[in-house]
Each structure stands twice: as C-alpha cells, then as structure tokens.
Structure 1
Amino acid sequence: MVNIDDFVKRLETILDYYGLNASAFADKIGVQRSSMSHLLSGRNKPSLDFVMKILEVFPDVDLYWILIGRGNFPKSNDEDFEIPQSSTPIQSNQNSGADLFSSVGINEEEKRETKKASAPKNVNINLEDDEIEKIVLFYKNGTFKAYSP
C-alpha cells in the first residue's frame, strides 16, 4: 500500500529536482492544476493515470521509487530491480473511476495494532470543572485517531 504522505514528499523531491512549481509540473504532465494541488495537500490520492504520466514525461523517475520509496532518484541505469511475481492472477478492476491506491480491506491484525505513546510533558489538566470533548492521538507516521467519550 502506498503511503500518501511519503508519496507527496517524493513528488516534492521531483519538483525541486526539475525546478518546477506545482502549476508548471501539472501543465507539463497534462493534468489539471487543481488535481495537483489536491494531491499535494493530501486531499486526493494519486491515480494510476497520474503516476504513469509522471513516468512518461520524466524518465529519471523510477516506478518503485515514486510508489514505495525503493530505488533511487534520479534513476540509475545500472540497477536492476526484481519484480515480485504473484502466484495468483491479477484481475482487472472494471471500475475505472476507482482509486488505484485505496485499501480494499483492513485485516484483523492491523485493526488490533496499537502504538505506545510517550508520556506527555508539562501536562496541566484540571478535570473538576471541564468535560472532555475529544481526545486525539497523533502518530509519527502522520496518521491520527480521534476518540469521543
């Protein structure tokens, strides 16, 4: 699964490397500027079409690097990456409007996974007069969980 925050960081690396702003990049690969803005802000996820347009226009971008961070940017010609072979056939998704990187389902192990948080510093809470509305946990990987009592 593609981590969207990491994908955006790699996309920003490409922008810096070629000295382009988001608008010029969008124009160059042939997508709407608003699509680029929504992607960089984390509102939208990248589509397969978007990734393929990047690879067509910028040959120095490696597919595995842009998607999962493996490999190098700019792409070096002497490195060969082994493409993992699946034992099950790949079925095409007939819904062309579907997002390529959306998760299909979350397995039970991921649901049960919890992370330990470090003890907060300088906590000054007076619970006598205040009622808790929401508790939000922020994780280092950029995700968060909100709990309401």
Structure 2
Amino acid sequence: MVNIDDFVKRLEIILDYYALNASSFADKIGVQRSSMSHLLSGRNKPSLDFVLKILEVFPDVDLYWILNGKGSFPKNEEETVNSKIENTVEIEKSSAPIPYNENEVSKDLFSGMNKKEESQEKRYFSESKNSNLNLEEGEIEKIVFFYKNGTFKVYNP
C-alpha cells in the first residue's frame, strides 16, 4: 500500500529536482492541474495512470522509489543503463519478424471474404439492380456511395 504522505513528499522532491511548480509539472506529464493540486493536498490518491505518466516523462524516476521509497532518485547511472538495455531487448523481441505461414489466411481487414462469397455478392447485387425496387417497407431516406479513395456522396431522393 502506498503511503500518500510519503508519496507527496517524494513528488515534491521531483518538483524541486526539475525546478518545476505543480502547474508546469501537471502540464508536462499531461494531467489536469486540479488533479495535481488534489494530490499534493492529500485529498486524492495517485492513480496508476498518473504514476506511469511520471515515469514516461521523467526516466530518472524509479518506480519503486516513487511508490514506496525503495531505490534512489535520480536513478544511478548503472540502473539507467540497465533499464535502457532491458527496454532495447524488449523492443527487439517485440519487433522480431513474424514467420510467414503459407497455410495461414491473411488477416487483413479487407480480405474477410473469399472469392466464392464475392461472386455470390456480385450476382445478388446485379440481380437486385435489374429488379424493381420494393418500396413497401418505407421510403428511402438517403443513398450513400462510398468510393475506394475514402470519399463518399450522399443522395437524398
């Protein structure tokens, strides 16, 4: 459990270290100024999102130090270098090429239909084009044509 008073003291240490006031700190990490004020006054507890934003913007802040005072601030050079190496290894692992499997069907957004379904759909569309429209269900409010280039046209009959 995070002790709020101690967390606020550590947050104030960060503010002093970077020579920031509460408003500029809130702007820098992308939170509302009021949430920063409520946190510093002890009214609110820090959210996970708040802590992660601090760690993202200020890499010298150690997660365990800000949460429970263990570790050091700013991180010593060795810790910073090790965390950068770990992050690089994780990025390299996550960006490793995915082997191509010939049996696997492409999972592209636009390749959801196979050729058989496409031909059936085209046949149905051409049949419905040639037949008289059955308007017993109600009047047509509008017709929208979507083009491959991302544009569209709306017709109100």
Q: TM-score, normalised by structure 1?
A: 0.52
| Structure 2 match to 1:106 | none
Aligned to 1:29: 29
Structure 2's unaligned 5+ residue stretches are 83-157
Quick one: distance in 2 between partners of 1:48 and 1:58?
15
What are the equivalent positions in structure 2 for 1:13-92 lying under 5 Å apart?
13-79=13-79
Within 5 Å, give how 1:59-138 maps onto structure 2: 59-79=59-79
Tell me the SS of whatever aligns to 1:39: helix
Counting helix residues as a fraction of each chain, which structure ranks higher? 2
Question: Amino acid of the residue matched to residue 64 of structure 1?
Answer: Y
Q: Partner residue of 1:4?
A: 4
Kindly report the root-mean-square deviation, in angstroms, between the aligned alpha carbons of the 2 structures: 1.5
Residue type of the alignment partner of 2:62: D
Deviation at 1:77, TM superposition (A): 3.5
| Cα deviation digits, residues 11-31 of structure 1 (max 9, x gap) | 000000000000000000000
Structure 1 unaligned runs (5+)?
81-149
Paired-residue identity, %: 86
Work out the CA distance in 2 between the residues paired with 1:44 and 1:77: 33
Q: Which amino acid aligns with 1:41?
A: S
| Structure 1 consecutive aligned stretches of length 4 or more whose deviation exceeds 3 Å | none
Question: C-alpha deviations, 1:36-73, integer Å up to 9, x for none?
Answer: 00000000000000000000000000000000000000
How many correspondences in the alignment?
81
The Cα of 1:76 is off from its aligned counterpart by: 1.3
Comparing both chains, which one has the higher relative contact order based on Cα–Cα distances under 8 Å and sequence gaps of 6 or more? 1
